[in-house]
Amino acid sequence: MCVRISQLDSRTRSIARIANLCLISGLILWIIIRPSIATSHLWIDGLCGLLFGFYITVNPMCFPRPCRGRTGPDSPATQNS
């Protein structure tokens, strides 16, 4: 299921935008800035990891999950009345 960002509420849209900006910032740091610095890369690696981790954590929370019905012997769908 594809969800357009325009279909989300304003709070979720802003969180999704922030997460996408973190991904873009992390990629820019990793691809462009990291090779150009001659000193230690440890702080750039840490910042990139933080930005990627934020993106990975927040992005799935922005999109609705499909509603799954309960199944099993105790679910209302399988009980006979």
- Residue 11 pLDDT class (50, 70, 90 cuts): confident
Establish if 31 belongs to a structural domain: yes
Q: How many domains does the chain have?
A: 1
Torsion on CA atoms 5, 9, 12, 13, rounded to nearest 10: 40
Highest mean pLDDT among 7-11, 47-51, 77-81: 47-51
Count the helices and strands in the chain (H runs, E runs).
3, 0
Q: Which domain holds residue 44?
A: 7-60
Establish if 71 belongs to a structural domain: no
Establish if 79 belongs to a structural domain: no
pLDDT in tens, 15-73: 888 999 999 999 999 898 888 888 788 888 899 999 999 999 988 877 766 666 556 56
